[in-house]
Structure 1
Amino acid sequence: MQQKVFDVEGMTCAACAARVEKVVGRLPGVQASVNLAAETLVVTCPEGTNLPDVAAAVERAGFTVKERTQQRHVNIPVGGMTCAACSARVEKVLNRLPSVQASVNLATETVSAAYDPALTRLSDLRGAIEAAGYQPLTAQTVDERTQRRQKDIRVMRLKLMIALVFTLPLFYLAMGPLVGLPVPAFLNADNYPVRNALTQLLLTLPVMAAGYRFYINGFGALARRAPNMDSLVALGTSAAFLYSVYGVVQVLNGHHHAVHNLYFESTAVIIALIMLGKTLEALSKGRTGQAIRALMQLAPATAVLITQAGEKEIPAEEVEPGDLLLVRPGARIPVDGVVKTGHTAVDEAMLTGESMPRDKQPGDKLYAGTLNTMGAVTMRADQVGQDTALSQIIKLVENAQGSKAPIAQLADKVSAVFVPVVAAIALIAGLAWLAAGHFMPQVIPEGVTPIGFALTVMIAVLVIACPCALGLATPTAIMVGTGLGAQHGILIKSGEALETAHKVDAMIFDKTGTITLGQPQVTALEVISGDAAALLELAATAEQGSEHPLGQAIVAHARKMGVPVGTAAALTALPGRGVEATVNGQRVLIGNAQLMQENHVDTGALLARAQALAQQGQTPMYVAADGRLQGLIAVADVIRPTSRQALAQLKRMGIQLYMITGDNERTAQAI
């Protein structure tokens, strides 16, 4: 059965509501319930019911109807999930709720759920998670989740160290004599069986205490008839421990031969090894969140709010739509909005990949996380918080890391039935060997009792057959893959996209920052008179202190060539045109043709060369001193040294290659 909600207009009284319920209820298998106050119709019907028939029935009754399709999406952190069976259990109970479509990611320990608020409330989801025996946590920021995970890792490391400190001597004491290793004489099992047995018991207890969560979670899941991986560990180690305790009692009662049938080391080693695996798993989970944290750090923590009382610095999350903000040179844009006053150039490489800053003037759009490189501007906040473009990118990465690939969905189905099947197989194997030892004693190794060997077999099946590799490996691989992709500027939309990537037969590349370095470099110098070094020194000195990437490229090139860079007496940025500075008493202009025309500088001598460089995708900048043209410097985003090799390799693999760019066609053709 499914439930659907319709908005119904035109109902004015109880008779209208009754009329709607009556006409819809006549449809085969359909149950209708009308909420007059909310003007909604809730329909319960079999899967595959033709919903347009429902709408048509309401419309024939004289009302306007529209199916409500708006769903709310939430991510709920969940504590207490330790294996794939746990995640399958949570997913199962949530999907039983009306209108809920839930997907659990064990690697991130979160539930992604979509539901209709008219049918189900968020509190219902949390209640279902609690009823299943797990803890729905409050929604946390990436930083808060990171802090919680780091704390968990510290605790896990401490418990692991405790387990190893006691497990290693226990393992040596129990297994050392079997391979000829010496043990202290006062603990010799043949001469001092009581001491040996009690020492093994005392060494085991701290290990079990360190791994107490296996027993709480495992037996709790058994009580709820939803066994998980911890249930296997709890059953196996408890059986070995209780049998060994029985052996200690026999030793204390004078049956000293029982000291050779103790299995305390099995309990301790199993717990220690699984704790080691859990700790390594937690460390791998922690590393996968670094990409999202790096994206979040692009957004500034504070913003400068302009009020009637003056400027006020406030936390960026307190910015409301419509607020007027001041953005100074060198600061990052706090929210999405538009320029109100001022002119500047903004580095939008984190969004577009374009290395060249884009000039901004009143009315132009600004995006959170981008860098204001030049002048101060005031802006009006439009999209804030989770609505900014940067937040949407972060959400895309998080959703991709939380999505399930088709192979992961198959793994979850297998894991859901794996635990009870393994428990049944372990019980059958133990009973079979117990019976074999009773009727055919020769099949049991010498010196081992039938019940002891049967118990060993049962424990081996319970502990070794762990479904966590099946349920955890795929989501962890998706997390690592999408996380590393984000760090390298590759956003992977979903787990399914990642899984099907091996079928790719065509690739579309962005130009800037992908095929090219994404950093402008000086590519050509043309001099009217004199030498190139003098022109470069003049230009670099004028651009010293400039925040524009083109100016910084000139300064970097001068230093690379060993040309001295002085200090300009004055530097004025001219957005969209260039800069003006005073160098050794000369008025120096560096910029485009528009700047030269405004200052009546004749560029005819280098006009053809400038046009040729522009045709090649380079940015020509004229250099003039005291009104006379001195030369030309070209800057361009050069091709990465590895691009040719990488593209050639892709071609050899039979992949068709395409390039897209926001630059002009001349630059694209040149690349």
Structure 2
Amino acid sequence: MDDLVARIQRAGYGIAEGEADLVIQRLSDSNDAMRLEKALLKLEGVTDAQVNFASERARVSYIPTIVSQADIRRVVQTAGFETVEAAGEFEDVERKAREEEIRQQRHLLIIGLIFTVPLFLLSMGRDFGLLPMALAHAEWLDWVMFALATPVQFYVGWQYYVGAYKALSNRTANMDVLIAMGSSAAYFYSIPVMLGLLPTHHVYFETGAVIITLIRLGKYLEARAKGQTSEAIKKLMGLRAKSARIIRVGLEMDVPVDEVRTGDIVIVRPGEKIPVDGVVIDGRSAVDESMLTGESLPVEKKPGDPVIGATLNKLGSLKFEATKVGRESALAQIIRLVEEAQGSKAPIQKLADQVSAIFVPVVIAIALFTFLIWYFLIPAPLDPGMTQFTRALINMVAVLVIACPCAMGLATPTAVMVGAGKGAELGILLKSGEALERAGRITTVVLDKTGTITRGQPSVTDIVMEMNLAPVTDRGGVEQGLLLDENELLRLAASVEKDSEHPLGEAIVASAGDRGLILSPVSGFRAEVGYGVEAEVDGQKVLVGNVRMMTNRG
């Protein structure tokens, strides 16, 4: 299939491809992700597949005329995993799945602790002589330990048995295989000891329970870490407007932003967020686009100018035609870029995946080799309560559970997710995990505008005045005997700007507040988009604006 696609592309033609974005559940480790990736690539019609363990997302490119999304989901389920389609660009399916996973892991961890803690105390208390003699040698104590260990083994740890079975049925091995083998060896060895079928009298029920509970604690912390890495996506999603005011069949109505269609006429009033991308057809205003461009000053908008969804309309009312909605909007593209960066594999992650793929089989081989060495070659233990078989078994279990590849399989993708997410929070969008990895070797950074490394918020640094500055009369003359000082000029300007939403006006008002100046009430306030503001203060008309405004007013 790949060869056929390549030939068609070399001939100068393209192939219409679809893309499925799936949330994958029940991935145990990066080995599972690689196994699922290979299974998807084997499906005829699939041209590319990427499965990320940390983000639990699968992106599959396919040819719709050959394979359907239902076929893709069927392959995922056959491989032993569950899938949810992330249908809407803003539908937070992933968040709900993560919250459910955290709740489930917390529940199982609590159940595990309830049974494991008393089991561990009884076992260690007996081993170290801390229990009363009558209790330590009671025949029923082993049965109590058995009763405490069984719920942990088959309820708290059932997921590992299921995962191990699915992995082995697909002729592979993952972390679940290690956990199931290690905990089961200790548990099932202890049952014949408890029944008196073996010469030793020491049971190891607590070993399997402690293994499962500690792994469950790690899974709970892992689930929380995965949830925290998607905070950047949540914050980006929170930027968009929840509803839009549109005109349909001559009527003005409020609808959810997801129901806005291309070609709809949208109305935005001052102080409201622009719901979707579009082109202004009526009205003038200034729009705060800092969330996209980093520029602190509002951008003037007039008929024919483009507006971007999630930006803030500051001054006048606008009427515009929606041109890009849903997945096509600028914000949706940004979210998609961040998701792709979080889900992409850096070169170091690909290396870690390759190591993880052979890690589990190698660990199992080493564990079996450890058992054989301790059973056949090491002298018998001096402790009468421990047989050669018991000691060899304990050492084999130790190798199985200590060599868990979770850290290696999770650390690299989590680092990429956290890095890409943190960058998005700070306004830096990363195209891929490889770009993030290579960023560590950057020696020179070139920045093209102010606001990139500064606060992005204007402030008054200096007040420059002409000598003998005085108010101007209505006829253009100067009022004699009324010279303005720096504080009076700032007070007048701030009095007018206190009703303005322009960042420069807010900076002037803040500076007056820092100096403790008392502002006067104003009347006749009026804002001219792209020019400035004017109002009457203490009986005087005060204009605050740019050179164009002052030139127009003479």
| TM-score higher than 0.5 | yes
State the distance in 1 between where 2:512 and 2:128 align: 71
Q: Give yes or no for the alignment of 1:183 onto 2:125.
A: no
SS at match of 2:456: strand
SS at match of 2:274: coil
State the distance in 1 between where 2:52 and 2:286 align: 42
State the 1:245 CA deviation.
1.1
State the 1:578 CA deviation.
0.3
The correspondence for 2:50, drawn from 93, 98, 103, is: 103
Partner of 2:184: 238
SS at match of 1:381: strand
Equivalences, count? 534
State the 1:526 CA deviation.
3.5
Q: Give yes or no for the alignment of 1:160 onto 2:102.
A: no
Name which of structure 1's ranges 313-322 and 453-462 shifts more when overlaid on structure 2: 453-462
Contact 1:337–1:365, Cα closer than 8 Å, also in 2: yes
Structure with the bigger RCO (C-alpha within 8 Å, sep 6+) is: 2
Aligned CA distance change for structure 1 residues 516 and 415 (closer, same or farther; 3 Å)? same
The correspondence for 1:223, drawn from 159, 163, 169, is: 169
Aligned CA distance change for structure 1 residues 447 and 186 (closer, same or farther; 3 Å)? closer
Q: Give yes or no for the alignment of 1:400 onto 2:341.
A: yes
Partner of 1:348: 289
The AA in structure 1 aligned to 2:97 is R
State the 1:289 CA deviation.
0.8
Q: Give yes or no for the alignment of 1:520 onto 2:466.
A: no
State the distance in 2 between where 1:215 and 1:359 align: 63
Aligned CA distance change for structure 1 residues 488 and 102 (closer, same or farther; 3 Å)? same
Name which of structure 1's ranges 201-210 and 479-488 shifts more when overlaid on structure 2: 201-210
State the distance in 2 between where 1:207 and 1:517 align: 54
1:264-283 maps to which residues of 2 (within 5 A)?
264-283=205-224
State the distance in 1 between where 2:549 and 2:235 align: 39
The AA in structure 1 aligned to 2:135 is L
Q: Give yes or no for the alignment of 1:123 onto 2:64.
A: no
Contact 1:88–1:415, Cα closer than 8 Å, also in 2: no
- For 1:423-444, what per-residue CA distance to the aligned partner results, in whole angstroms no more than 9, with x for missing partners? 232223223322336xx435x7
Partner of 1:205: 150
SS at match of 2:488: helix
State the distance in 2 between where 1:314 and 1:522 align: 41
State the distance in 2 between where 1:51 and 1:143 align: 36
1:506-655 maps to which residues of 2 (within 5 A)?
506-527=444-465, 528=469, 529-600=483-554
SS at match of 1:507: coil
The correspondence for 2:20, drawn from 65, 74, 78, is: 74
The AA in structure 1 aligned to 2:528 is L
Q: Give yes or no for the alignment of 1:467 onto 2:467.
A: no
State the 1:147 CA deviation.
2.7
State the distance in 1 between where 2:397 and 2:77 align: 31
SS at match of 2:266: strand
Aligned CA distance change for structure 1 residues 472 and 75 (closer, same or farther; 3 Å)? same
State the 1:525 CA deviation.
2.0
5+ long unaligned stretches in structure 2: 470-482
- For 1:435-456, what per-residue CA distance to the aligned partner results, in whole angstroms no more than 9, with x for missing partners? 336xx435x7553112111211
State the 1:275 CA deviation.
0.6
State the 1:314 CA deviation.
0.5
State the 1:283 CA deviation.
0.7
State the distance in 2 between where 1:498 and 1:377 align: 40
- For 1:354-387, what per-residue CA distance to the aligned partner results, in whole angstroms no more than 9, with x for missing partners? 1011111100110111111100110110011111
The correspondence for 2:96, drawn from 147, 163, 171, is: 147
Partner of 1:195: 140
The correspondence for 1:312, drawn from 253, 262, 280, is: 253
State the 1:542 CA deviation.
1.0
Higher-Rg member (1/2):
1
- For 1:456-504, what per-residue CA distance to the aligned partner results, in whole angstroms no more than 9, with x for missing partners? 1221122122122221110011111111111111212111111112221
Partner of 2:476: none
The AA in structure 1 aligned to 2:409 is G
Name which of structure 1's ranges 169-178 and 297-306 shifts more when overlaid on structure 2: 169-178
State the 1:185 CA deviation.
4.9
State the 1:541 CA deviation.
1.1
The correspondence for 1:293, drawn from 231, 234, 250, is: 234
The AA in structure 2 aligned to 1:92 is K
Contact 2:23–2:94, Cα closer than 8 Å, also in 1: no
Q: Give yes or no for the alignment of 1:377 onto 2:315.
A: no
Partner of 1:624: none
The correspondence for 2:119, drawn from 143, 147, 170, is: 170
Contact 1:355–1:512, Cα closer than 8 Å, also in 2: no
- For 1:169-194, what per-residue CA distance to the aligned partner results, in whole angstroms no more than 9, with x for missing partners? 212221234445x2255531xx31x2
- For 1:84-118, what per-residue CA distance to the aligned partner results, in whole angstroms no more than 9, with x for missing partners? 22111101101112342111100111112222223
Contact 1:415–1:471, Cα closer than 8 Å, also in 2: yes
Name which of structure 1's ranges 126-135 and 366-375 shifts more when overlaid on structure 2: 126-135
Aligned CA distance change for structure 1 residues 446 and 570 (closer, same or farther; 3 Å)? farther
Contact 2:200–2:386, Cα closer than 8 Å, also in 1: no
Contact 2:86–2:93, Cα closer than 8 Å, also in 1: no
Q: Give yes or no for the alignment of 1:503 onto 2:441.
A: yes
Aligned CA distance change for structure 1 residues 147 and 124 (closer, same or farther; 3 Å)? closer
Contact 1:94–1:100, Cα closer than 8 Å, also in 2: no
Q: Give yes or no for the alignment of 1:259 onto 2:201.
A: yes
5+ long unaligned stretches in structure 1: 6-47, 56-65, 601-671
State the 1:328 CA deviation.
0.8
Aligned CA distance change for structure 1 residues 142 and 470 (closer, same or farther; 3 Å)? farther
- For 1:194-237, what per-residue CA distance to the aligned partner results, in whole angstroms no more than 9, with x for missing partners? 22201211111232222221112122322332221111111111
State the distance in 2 between where 1:50 and 1:371 align: 46
Aligned CA distance change for structure 1 residues 50 and 118 (closer, same or farther; 3 Å)? closer
Aligned CA distance change for structure 1 residues 582 and 167 (closer, same or farther; 3 Å)? same
Aligned CA distance change for structure 1 residues 318 and 50 (closer, same or farther; 3 Å)? closer
Name which of structure 1's ranges 525-534 and 293-302 shifts more when overlaid on structure 2: 525-534
**Identity of paired residues, percent?**
45
Partner of 1:4: 4
State the distance in 1 between where 2:30 and 2:132 align: 44
State the 1:142 CA deviation.
5.7
Contact 2:201–2:385, Cα closer than 8 Å, also in 1: no
The AA in structure 2 aligned to 1:455 is L
